[in-house]
Structure 1
């Protein structure tokens, strides 16, 4: 009998130990700045004048407009023209340098690569935004309006995430800031060198808003992808500059961190209860209160007009969060639920439809036409 008890105790201790190790590693995936995020590296198989053939992967089989990058160059790839179980051939829309057979490239959902001038031929200024932690690098694309647009990238992403929508914003005349925030490359580190999932990073959006207001902006439009969207929503709840926020654009926003983490745990075949273990370790390491990181049901005081994009095939942030959010604010939220789009890829699936929706929304909230003519 004692032997059975000892065995059970040992098994329980082993389970606790492995749970603790898993919770520590899982929380590190959320918090550690040095964590290498998922990248898809591919070898070019065949190149013709207007097509490129790549290995068949989940990513390369997506329909829509995507990119590949290598060194300082990139190519924009269009729709699939042929595929089998081994390869995918896509139309090549643009390339900064010729592709070659055997070249190693990285799949790029942001499509473009580099700064606004190199990637899109748009003049810009490198600026430094004062913040409580130090200067934050940003790209400023000038425009004639007094409403500025601030672009906030997502989790483990970069300013390049905003390049897809930059031509539309530039055409409409909006001065646009592509922001960095704490722990980004070239930006100041947080005191503990950890991500805080937007719970503190929102203050760097506030710094960007204050910079815009002190450099000629009368008000701003905030535009966030994924965690950037969560940061925007946090700003709306905590900042003293909410009155200067004319509108918000959210693309696949994280609106409930618990559900976002639970989605990833499910994909990795962990039980539901393990999500709470990861959150417990993350809260101890970074002081995060996960119960407060749920914006699915916004308060009545939230009155900012919002354009919301979310893909039905999002494998990182459940689209149901955006469904709930949009239903809670039917008069304020213009919701574009994009069939077949994975995480932050609503633009990629149908760039024209995305840009049309963006233009129509900005015209409505800014009181001017799509060429930038109007009162602002």
Structure 2
């Protein structure tokens, strides 16, 4: 009997170790695996007078402004006007009306490029990074202070287009960059994301290219992991003192807090997050603890507009609040805009008027350096 009990105990411990290892590996994959998206997630069930009816999903029932993309076209959709079992009808704000039965992708970022999304002319420039050329969109403007946008983990440049109309209205030259492992950009040596620990050097390369094109000062804009990239740039780059202002939308402020949230999302025990971070460090060589802007704030700290939604389940609101607390301790000028609705990076979608107003006011103050 004792022998059988020992065998059962050993087997149970072995299963626990295997389960923990699998959970940790899964968590590390969510952190550093490169993913490219593009599949449909809804279907057009009907069209009406200025409306489109879609299959009912968690995404298609969200309040606010979103986009439906399908082969060769798109439409901007407003709030839900009616719902019935399995169906949700939204108002068409801009763009084409899809045909009945069209499969499409319902998402929170604009389609295409600056011209497709907003009718704003642009050119594509290549940034000579240390790994090879990476494409960027350039919208010309007035003066020599450039607005440089950095998207998040496994995102695309189009994710940064929500802020473009305000930037363009104010006349700031706009540069929307890509970085290692993006589509069209060079692959990192290990083929993995480094959570900002190495990607910041591609942002630095973009600023050097902008200098060649006439830039002398910068405003940096980072969403999600793009915020961490901006933070690491401010901590490590010799060009950081050329940055006048920073805007971060739902940034990855603290990687460990993000990992803990990821474990909660998948109903995994808390220790899996710590194991996952260890695996990330083993696979990438990244010091996860150093990727905490609240515990290790950057040496250069320009005025910061920090935007975050309270319901965010990818980078929890506690990350932003922790950075605000750090700002108070260091007399870092941080303006915090907390939105009560919206999921990750959806503050603009749920309240475009407030978002644009906050960005406009932040950028419009003390712009004497922009000539």
Kept after mapping to 2: 8 A contact 1:39/1:107: no
**Deviations 1:335-376, CA, capped at 9 Å, x for gaps:** 110111211011111111111111110011424xxxxxx852
**Cα distance in 1 between the residues matched to 2:91 and 2:127:** 40
Aligned residues: 367
Contact in 2 for aligned 1:124/1:139 (Cα 8 Å)? yes
Q: How does 1:344-359 map to 2 (within 5 A)?
A: 344-359=345-360
Q: Distance in 1 between matches of 2:301 and 2:14?
A: 51
Give the drift of 1:59: 1.5
Q: Determine the structure 1 residue equivalent to 2:200.
A: 202
1:100 maps to which residue?
Answer: 99
Shift in alpha-carbon separation, 1:40–1:326, aligned structure 2, 3 A: farther
Bigger drift between 77-86 and 37-46 goes to 37-46
- 1:117-146 CA-to-partner distances (Å, cap 9, x unmatched) read 222221111110111111111011111121
Alpha-carbon distance between aligned partners in 2 of 1:265 and 1:303, rounded to the nearest angstrom: 31
Indicate the SS of the match to 1:62.
Answer: coil
The aligned residue for residue 170 of structure 2 is 172
CA distance in 2: counterparts of 1:295 and 1:375, whole angstroms: 28
Q: Take 1:179 and 1:139, find their aligned partners in 2: how far apart are those partners? A: 7
Kept in 1, the 8 Å contact 2:324–2:336? The answer is yes
Which piece of structure 1 moves more, 204-213 or 36-45?
36-45
Cα distance in 2 between the residues matched to 1:171 and 1:347: 17
Q: Which residue of 2 aligns with 1:215?
A: 213
Q: Determine the C-alpha separation between the residues in 1 that align with 2:122 and 2:363.
A: 22
Distance 1:221 1:72 in 2: 33
The answer to whether 1:2 aligns with 2:3 is: yes
The Cα of 1:313 is off from its aligned counterpart by 1.2
For 1:298 and 1:23, the matched residues in 2 are separated by 25
Question: In the TM superposition, what are the counterparts of 1:192-341 in structure 2 within 5 Å?
Answer: 192-297=190-295, 299=297, 301-330=299-328, 332-341=333-342
For residues 298 and 282 of structure 2, the distance between their equivalents in structure 1, rounded to whole angstroms, comes to 32
User: Residue in 1 aligned with 2:180?
Assistant: 182
In structure 2, the residue corresponding to 1:314 is in which secondary structure?
coil
Partner in structure 1 of residue 87 of structure 2: 87
Report the 3-state secondary structure (helix = DSSP H, G, I; strand = E; otherwise coil) of the residue aligned with 1:228.
Answer: helix
Contact kept? 1:305, 1:365, Cα under 8 Å: no
Gaps of 5+ in 2: none
Shift of 1:73: 1.3
Deviation, structure 1 residue 46: 1.3
3-state secondary structure, aligned to 1:196: coil
Q: Give the superposition deviation at 1:298.
A: 5.4
Shift of 1:85: 4.4
Query: Given the two structures, how large is their TM-score scaled by the length of structure 2?
Result: 0.95
Contact 1:298-1:325 at 8 Å conserved across structures? no
Residue 184 of structure 1: how far off its partner (Å): 0.2
- Once the two structures are superposed, residues 205-231 of structure 1 have per-residue CA deviations (whole angstroms, 9 ceiling, x without a partner) of 111111112211110000000000011
1:296 Cα deviation from its structure 2 partner: 2.1
Q: Which residue does the alignment assign to 1:26?
A: 27
Taking the aligned partners of 1:77 and 1:253, their CA distance within structure 2 comes to: 26
2:152 aligned partner: 154
Please name the residue that 1:138 is paired with.
136
The aligned counterpart of 1:370 is none
Give yes or no for the alignment of 1:66 onto 2:66: yes
Q: What is the 5 A alignment of 1:37-48?
A: 41-48=41-48
Q: Distance in 2 between matches of 1:84 and 1:340?
A: 23
Maintained 8 Å contact 1:246/1:365: no
Q: 1:19 to 1:303 in 2, by over 3 A?
A: closer
In 2: Cα distance, 1:40 partner to 1:319 partner? 29
3-state SS of 1:341 partner: coil
Structural mapping, 1:112-127, within 5 Å: 112-127=110-125
Indicate if the aligned counterparts of 2:27 and 2:259 stay in contact, CA closer than 8 A. no
Decide whether the 8 Å contact of 2:232 with 2:298 is kept in 1.
no
2: CA distance, partners of 1:230 / 1:106: 27
Distance 1:40 1:262, change over 3 A: farther
Paired residues of 2:234 and 2:299 also in contact (CA < 8 A): no
